[in-house]
Every structure is written in C-alpha cells, then in structure tokens.
Amino acid sequence: MRDLIPWRKRRGRPESIDRPARDDVQDFFRDALEDFFGGARGLTPWLRKGLDLGPAVDVSETDKEYKAEVELPGVKKEDLNVTIDEGRLHIEGRREEEERDEGTNYLRVERSSGSFARTLQLPPTVDEEGAEANFKDGVLTVRLPKTAESQGRKIEVKTSGEE
C-alpha cells in the first residue's frame, strides 16, 4: 500500500521523493491554472463569474451612521434595485452587454455583463427607515443611520455640591 503513495519517504531513496511541502503543491496548481487560463488576472469571463461574489463593496462606520459604497461601473440607475429586508441590505442589478464590432478582433474580453446581487447583514443598531441611497459616477452610496439609542449620549460630569 505504501508503494502507491509516491511522496511518502522510503528507505534507500533520495530525499526528492519525500512528501512535497504544502507551498510546493499550491504553487504547482496555481502555475498550472495560470498557464491554462492565461494568468490569475486574465481568467476567462465564464470562470471569473463563478468566482465572483458580486460588485466590490466598502463599508465604513462613524458615530452616527454606516456607509456602504458599491462599485458599479457601466450600470444604469434604472437597472439597480436596493432594498432592506429583515436586517439585510440587498443590492441587485444588471449590466447590459455592450455591442461588439464584428470587424474587430478582440484579444481579451474581461468586462462581464448580466445580473449581479450582493446581500450585506446589517447590525441591529441600523435605523432602516432612515436609509438613503445615491448613485453617482458608477458608485452607489448607501447611508444607514444608527438608531438614537446606539449613538449614546454625553453625560455631564458635576462636582460634588452641584445639583
């Protein structure tokens, strides 16, 4: 049985047949995929779609609100749908496929088209009724105010004898 496992150390054999390091195996598969698909950045669109989680989202927080900024290049406002439901922010949309010139020989096509969706779990401190969305220059900005209770309040410190 041990003879069937090529990387297991055997007596009297050179060190090169020891079990390969994990990094060596990962490098081998990464190199094989890059050779086959033209590099990690050049993955064919059909493969990238399977790996995509949707549009890129930056989420930030201040004392008064949360802010989600979503990159949506090439998307029209009419093709966006933003909803809040059961403590989740849903961003759905569609990017139309551009018409390609038949006489042009495209060497690489990486821009994807079709439907996309992202769902973000919201913290319980979000005031869902006060949410606002703005779309400008391919960036969707969703502002989610915090509830008054979660913002806290300043307590004045008095000296003894003051009332």
- DSSP symbol at 98: P
pLDDT at 78: 94
Q: Which of 61, 84, 90 is CA-nearest to residue 130?
A: 84
Asked if 80 and 127 sit in the same domain, the reply is: yes
CATH number, domain containing residue 66: 2.60.40.790
Q: Which two tokens stand for residue 95?
A: 């990017």
Q: How many domains does the chain have?
A: 2
What does residue 2 show for φ and ψ, rounded to 5 degrees?
Answer: -65, -25
Mean pLDDT by 10 residues, the chain (163 residues): 55 54 68 58 45 77 93 91 93 86 81 85 91 95 88 78 62
Sign of the Cα pseudo-torsion (142, 143, 146, 148, in order): negative
Same domain membership, residue 56 and residue 8 = no
Say if 163 falls within a structural domain.
no
Looking at the structure, tell me whether residues 30 and 63 fall in a common domain. no
- Give me the DSSP letters along 99-135: P--TT---S------EEEEEEEEPPTTB-GGG-EEEE
Do residues 86 and 7 share a domain?
A: no
pTM above 0.95, yes or no: no
Domain residues for the domain of 128 are 45-99+110-151
Report the DSSP beta bridge partners of residue 117: 92
108 CB-near residues (< 8 Å, 6+ apart): 38, 42
User: Which residues lie across from 140 on neighbouring strands?
Assistant: 70, 135
